[in-house]
Structure 1
Amino acid sequence: MIADAIQGPRPQPVDLSAALDASGIVGTWSWSPRAEGWTLDAGAADLLAGDPGLAGRPLPLAVAKACVHPEDRPAVVRQFKAVRERGGLFTAEYRTLSPTGQIRRILERGRIPPGASSRRLGHGVIIDVTDEPPTTRSTVEPADALTQAVDRALECRDALEGVADSELRLLIDMLLLHLGRRIAKASTIGASAHGTAQRG
């Protein structure tokens, strides 16, 4: 029985890139304290800096967040600087404004390791929730549990920094993406319920 299972037809591998695209991820970033350098992938560089050609280059915060909506930018920058000082989880939901005037709604989650070492690296994901449909879920996962899961997943990604296995990192990014979307849905439900209560 076991031999038959091993020798039998194997399922087709999952196309992780397609799964990430379908889930709404638009990019990832890493941050190093060396010269306040942000490194964005092409998707994040396009959305946050307005130029996909900046992908892979260390960027100052002002350039890496150039397309954050002017009304949201001060709060996002202030929030990141606070997390940068103490380390920990960075979570922000904000709008972006492209050079052509397109506005998108973004959920960003990342983690900055604590400590003063110049070798510490932060990592995060960018999720486009602009077209997030109203949820039909009747229950919401506990926010604390989701936040703790994101923190552990980011720690795992940090641990894999020196491992030459892009598929493992992609799997972690996919997990982070789905956790982020669950948190976004939970926030949407909470805000809707709060608004209903106030109107009542």
Structure 2
Amino acid sequence: MFSIAGMAPALRAAGLIGTWGTNVAAGRSVLDEGAAALLAGNAALAGQPLPLEAALARTHPDDRDWVFERIRRVRQTGGPFSAEFRILTDMNEVRWVLNRGALTPDETGAMQGRGAYIDTTDAHRDAFISAASLSQDPVNTLDVAADHCIAAHTALERGGHFDLHRISEMLLFGIGQALARRG
């Protein structure tokens, strides 16, 4: 039989870092111990209302602007939230984090958020190969490329990008020749 306490090892094995809660009107987030340690850089900040800059202090400098902008936007609109970004640990190690949650009005109409951080670093260590690409017949790759190129060719023509349209014609011609050789 499953229990909440028994789920902790499974959640850690799945990469759960920790959880967050946000009071949008106050502009503050509360992190649990795991999230505070890794994302804010200090486990002692767990349970304390933190501004966004403190709660996500370890966000990688190259990701900081877009991550903070997306969070600010969902704080205005509400709804589901999902963003995968990098952080820098205290040892200057890059880790990948998936932030998933939702912001919804509470019973008084005030916007509140809840979510979790998941470590996805393992998925970024090697080149990603999708299940779809593994199941594709290698002979089909030219057909797929032709379909994509036709779509790009059409979009470029509609957009009035005639120089790029001409280049896409050459690519289509080359793909057509390869398809003809394939038989």
Answer whether TM exceeds 0.5 for this pair: yes
Instruction: Give yes or no for the alignment of 1:28 onto 2:14.
Output: no
Give the 5 Å matches for 1:56-135. Answer: 56-114=47-105, 119-132=110-123
Alignment correspondent of 2:34: 43
Kindly tell me the number of residue pairs found equivalent between the two proteins: 134
Given that residues 25 and 111 in structure 2 are in contact (C-alpha distance below 8 angstroms), is that contact kept between their aligned partners in structure 1? no
Q: Percent identity?
A: 39
Specify whether residues 13 and 67 from structure 1 end up closer, same or farther in structure 2 by C-alpha distance, changes over 3 A only. closer
Aligned AA for 1:19?
Answer: A
Gaps of 5+ in 1: 1-10, 141-192
Q: Say if 1:34 and 1:118, in contact at 8 Å, map to a contact too.
A: no
- Secondary structure of the 1:20 match is helix
Cα distance between partner residues in 2 of 1:120 and 1:57: 18
Q: Helix, strand or coil: the match of 1:131?
A: helix
AA of the residue aligned to 1:105: W
State the AA in 1 paired with 2:50: L
TM superposition outliers: structure 1 runs of 4+ over 2 Å: 11-14, 117-120, 132-140
Q: Letter of the aligned partner of 1:97 in structure 2? A: L
Q: Deviations over 1:144-192 (max 9, x none)?
A: xxxxxxxxxxxxxxxxxxxxxxxxxxxxxxxxxxxxxxxxxxxxxxxxx
Aligned counterpart, 1:5 = none
C-alpha RMSD of the superposition:
3.0
Unaligned ranges ≥5, structure 2: 134-140, 149-174, 176-183
The residue matched to 2:65 in structure 1 has which SS? Answer: helix
Query: How many angstroms apart in 2 are the aligned matches of 1:77 and 1:91?
Result: 12
2:60 corresponds to which letter in structure 1? H
Query: 1:109 and 1:99, CA in 2 relative to 1: closer, same or farther beyond 3 A?
Result: same
Q: Which residue of 1 aligns with 2:168?
A: none
Structure 2 residue identity aligned to 1:124: G
Structure 1 contact 24–127 (Cα < 8 Å) conserved: yes
